[in-house]
């Protein structure tokens, strides 16, 4: 299984989210790959603030280089998690069949909490399908500011810490919902 996280430049939010979920799943779902991409061209290193805030959590992102989102990446992912509405929209434009497995991170966690953790033996894809049941393409244009994870890029160090804290909480909740400890 592969989880793809998407943000604007693939410098802050999506690499942090991918790394945080990977740490949570290392012992309970080691076969799950977490990757990240962004809407902008790739090749840039993570900002020093991201490297520092993640190092404080025991995660090394010093070697991260941004990657541009592609249709192939979206198609390869079993779950696509955008940090904001635009990220989800772009992913679905690249792979129109990807809507059922593409969510904003806060939306996925909110809907997942309403459904409850994936029961033992239930395929992950079935749980994702049920979480997304009832969503339509129209949902991609609706926007609630409380559904996006704030971008700390260019802001003060405390903004990076706040975003990492939020992503850590969301990644932990997502791990508990999709891959609960048994």
Q: Tell me the pLDDT tens digit for each residue of 136-173.
A: 887 777 666 688 999 999 999 999 999 999 999 999 99
Rounded CA separation 9/162 (Å): 18
Q: Tell me the pLDDT tens digit for each residue of 46-61.
A: 999 999 999 999 999 9
pLDDT score, position 137: 81
Contact between residue 80 and residue 90 where contact means Cβ atoms under 8 Å apart:
no
- Tokens representing residue 36 in the block: 């990240």
> pTM of the full predicted structure?
0.96
Cα atoms found within 13 Å of the Cα of residue 93, Cβ hemisphere only: 11
Q: Tell me the pLDDT tens digit for each residue of 106-132.
A: 999 999 999 999 999 999 999 999 999
81 bridge partner residues: 5, 103
Rounded CA separation 109/122 (Å): 18
Domain boundaries, the chain: 2-178
Beta strands in 21-61 (DSSP E): 33-38
pLDDT score, position 144: 66
The three-state secondary structure class of 139 is: helix
| Region 2-178: CATH code | 3.40.50.2300
């Amino acid at each position: 299984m592969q989880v793809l996280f998407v943000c604007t430049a693939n410098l802050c939010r999506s690499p942090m989210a991918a790394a945080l979920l990977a740490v949570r799943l290392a012992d309970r779902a080691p076969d799950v790959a977490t990757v990240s991409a962004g809407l902008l061209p790739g090749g840039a290193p993570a900002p020093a603030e991201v490297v520092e805030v993640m190092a404080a959590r025991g995660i090394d992102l010093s070697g991260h280089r941004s990657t541009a989102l592609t249709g192939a990446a979206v198609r390869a992912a079993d779950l696509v998690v955008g940090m904001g509405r635009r990220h989800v929209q772009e992913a679905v434009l690249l792979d129109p069949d990807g809507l059922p497995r593409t969510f904003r991170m806060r939306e996925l966690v909110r809907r997942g909490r309403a459904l409850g953790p994936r029961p033992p033996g239930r395929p992950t894809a079935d749980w994702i399908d049920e979480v997304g049941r009832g969503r339509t393409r129209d949902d991609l244009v609706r926007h609630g500011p409380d559904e996006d994870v704030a971008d700390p890029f260019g802001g003060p160090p405390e903004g990076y810490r706040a975003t990492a804290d939020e992503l850590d909480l969301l990644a932990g909740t997502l791990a508990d919902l999709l891959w609960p400890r048994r």
